Amino acid sequence: MLNITYTERIVTYYENKVSKKYYIKTFGCQMNVYDSQRIAGILQSLGYQEASSQPNADIVIFNTCHIREKAAEKVFSDLGRALLIKNERKEQGKDTIIGVCGCVVQAEDEQIAKRAPFVDFATGPLTYHRLPEILAKIARKKGISVIDTEFPPESKFDFLPQNQSESACSYLAIQEGCNNFCTYCVVPYTRGVEYSRPIAEILQEAERLIDTGSLELNLLGQNVNSYHGEDEQGKERNLAYLLHRLSELDGLKRLRYTTSYPADMTDDLIACHKDIPQLMPYLHLPIQSGSNSVLKAMNRRHTKDDYLQIIDKLYQANPNIGMSSDFIVGFPGETDRDFQDTLDVVNKVKYIQAFSFKYSKRPGTPAAVMPHQIEEKVKKERLEILQNLLFDYQDKFNRACIGKVMPVLFENKGRHSGQLIGRTPYMQNLHAELPKENLNKIINIKITDATTNSLSGKAV
Ligand code: 5AD
Ligand code: SF4
């Protein structure tokens, strides 16, 4: 294994310019989707083009997720399959580089070296900007593998090639890392401490994305509403300020931000939901559990009542806002009573969408060694009850949309010809029969039909 000294410069551009192909498979959160787009940008700047499928690729990258055990294990089975493809290609005289990026690398670099020694390189979520040097190293010394999991002193954002919008909805990372240390969560260990990008850098990236076709920007951060980047005068600014600055950009029609932490929902941020017309009436605000004792054991800095008060303020700012959340069931020590408190929150907030998970023990986190771990059977039962309730509210909300007219941003072609798929302001998927000229446009649609997971409608 070699460590990156970071003194080498890019030498592979001309070598790779001739029809080398890349294939990236992304696991996990929206931040990983954003990172994969930036990794693709680096590879394109080195002359690579996107491959139509994995067997056609000269370089295969898995951008991995470590948040729950299942996601992390999936990587190793995919790596096994990648080795088979690499061997088949070798018989045809073609080399394949296999790389792993993302949070599994940060947490399990030794496991990767042990369980998948054929991996050519592994680089963490904060170091993938060093990919050109890594590839140069591999090109020069065939047969070596490079693992780079340092928390680097530099910001990767200063080294990435300029990105362009790939569709009318773009992700824009404004903040990374987390200082909250919820006791179940690996993020503070894999993505490191909080870092906020400066305002000017974000505005520049936003303008570039808008100039190349973005109508909607979704600002990303593990703890996005604790954003505290410097403005042009070096003054620290919060997310509310940044949203106002972004809302002044010509051509930007829609703004979103995710994922937020309840204790960081400041009054000026809540007021943005009243004052900024581009801010969509949808907010993902994870509570995780409705029980105060579980929240305390999770090291969350809010109670159930604090959370419900924030929701009240949000509804006052914008009565049409739709809420979403993450939930964990079966956290160590969670009793039936605690679980009932979670159901109670769901019945009060009436989420229009939500994500719910069984607690998954993550090595190295405090909750993994807490007493009173919950049996798998109980976790499964609680998850089913919670999901049925959540789906019920989602279904009710979707059906209540029938007859309404909503502006829909069409991002993709549908499965049938003549059909487009878009998103409503509430993040619902919507299908409509529309000519493809309407792709990447916002069209007013009358909702004609609804299921739990999607809507359909007609242009008005
Ligand atoms: N087990 C189950 N779910 C988890 N999450 C984070 N860590 C764990 C874990 N150890 C969930 C939280 C978080 C979402 C991204 O993943 O609900 O908000
Ligand atoms: Fe993980 Fe979110 Fe808690 Fe940070 S706030 S530790 S990212 S669950």
What pTM value is reported for the model?
Answer: 0.93
- Among 400, 433, 448, the domain boundary falls at 400
CA 361 / ligand 1 centre spacing (Å): 10
Q: Which residues are paired to 283 by β-bridges?
A: 323
Judge if the beta carbon of residue 187 lies within 6 A of ligand 2. Answer: yes
* Same domain flag for 261 and 391: no
Let me know whether 395 and 287 are in one domain: yes
* 63 and 77 inside one domain: yes
Phi, psi values for residue 280, rounded to 5°: -70, 150
Is 157 part of a structural domain of the chain?
Answer: no
Rounded CA separation 318/270 (Å): 9
Summarize pLDDT for 74-128 with one digit per residue, the tens: 999 999 999 999 999 999 999 999 999 999 999 988 899 999 999 999 999 999 9
Q: Do 290 and 363 share a domain, yes or no?
A: yes
* Contacts (Cβ under 8 Å, ≥6 apart) of 350: 323, 393, 396, 397
User: 23 and 9: one domain?
Assistant: yes
Residue 111 belongs to a domain: yes
C-alpha to C-alpha distance for 81 and 159, rounded to whole angstroms: 32
Name the domain boundary from 380, 400, 420.
400
157 φ/ψ angles, rounded to the nearest 5 degrees: -65, -25
> Which atom of ligand 2 is closest in space to residue 300's alpha carbon?
3
The pLDDT value given to residue 5? 39
Query: Per the domain annotation, does 215 fall within a domain?
Result: yes
Give me the half-sphere count of Cα atoms (radius 13 Å) on the Cβ side of residue 205. 21
Q: How many Å apart are CA 37 and CA 41, to the nearest integer?
A: 6
**Which one of 94, 113, 148 terminates a domain?**
148
* Per-residue pLDDT reduced to its tens digit, 81-93: 999 999 999 999 9
pLDDT of residue 159: 86
Instruction: Report yes or no: 16 and 47 within 8 Å, Cβ to Cβ.
Output: yes
Residue 355 alpha carbon, nearest atom of ligand 1: 17
Count of CA atoms in the C-beta half-sphere (13 A) of 237: 20
CB of 175 within 6 A of ligand 2: the answer is no
Q: How far is the CA of 319 from the centre of ligand 1 (A)?
A: 29
We report the CATH number of the domain holding residue 388 as 3.30.750.200
Do 232 and 351 sit in the same domain of this protein? no
Task: Give the pLDDT confidence score for residue 142 in this predicted structure.
Answer: 74
Query: Distance, CA 154 to ligand 1 centroid (Å)?
Result: 28
Q: Which ligand is nearest to the CA of 65?
A: 1
Which residues lie below 8 Å from residue 273, measured CB to CB, with a gap of 6+?
Answer: 279, 281, 283, 314, 317, 318, 321
Domain membership flag for residue 310: no
Q: CATH number for the domain including 429?
A: 2.40.50.140
Predicted confidence at residue 8, as pLDDT, reads 40
47 within some domain: yes
425's tokens = 């302001």
**Domain-embedded: residue 91:** yes
Q: pLDDT at position 266, please? A: 97
Do 262 and 180 share a structural domain?
yes
Q: Which residues pair with 141 in a beta bridge?
A: none
Looking up residue 243, the CATH number of its domain turns out to be: 3.30.750.210
Residues lower than pLDDT 50 in the chain? 1-17
Cα 46 from Cα 117, distance rounded (Å): 26
The answer to whether residue 155 sits within a structural domain is no
Q: Give 284 Cα–ligand 2 centroid separation in angstroms.
A: 14
CA-nearest residue, atom 12 of ligand 1:
326
Residue in 66, 178, 326, 328 to alter for ligand 2 test, most ligand atoms within 8 A of Cβ: 178
Task: Examine the domain organization and report whether 122 and 25 are in the same domain.
Answer: yes
By residue range, what is the domain housing residue 236? 163-279
Can you say whether the dihedral through the CA atoms of 243, 248, 251, 253 is positive or negative? positive
Predicted local confidence at residue 4, as pLDDT: 38
DSSP letter for each residue of 104-167: HHHHHHHHHHHH-TT--EEE-TTTGGGHHHHHHHHHHSTT--EEE----SS-GGGTSPPP--SS
Whether 200 and 112 share a structural domain: no
In a domain, 309, yes or no: no
Same domain, 54 and 91: yes
Burial 138-175 (b: 16+ CB within 10 A, else e): beeeeeebbbbbeebeeebbeebeebebeebbbbbbbb
Residues 351 and 431 in one domain: no
State the CATH number of the domain containing residue 77. Answer: 3.40.50.12160
Shared domain for 390 and 362, answered yes or no, is: yes
Q: Which long-range contacts (CB under 8 A, 24 or more apart) does 314-319 make?
A: 314/265, 314/270, 314/273, 314/283, 317/270, 317/271, 317/273, 317/274, 318/273, 318/274, 318/281
How many structural domains is the chain composed of?
Answer: 4
Pairing of strands 419-423, 175-176: unpaired
Q: What is the residue with the minimal CA distance to atom 16 of ligand 1?
A: 67
Q: Answer whether 72's CB lies under 8 Å from 108's CB.
A: yes
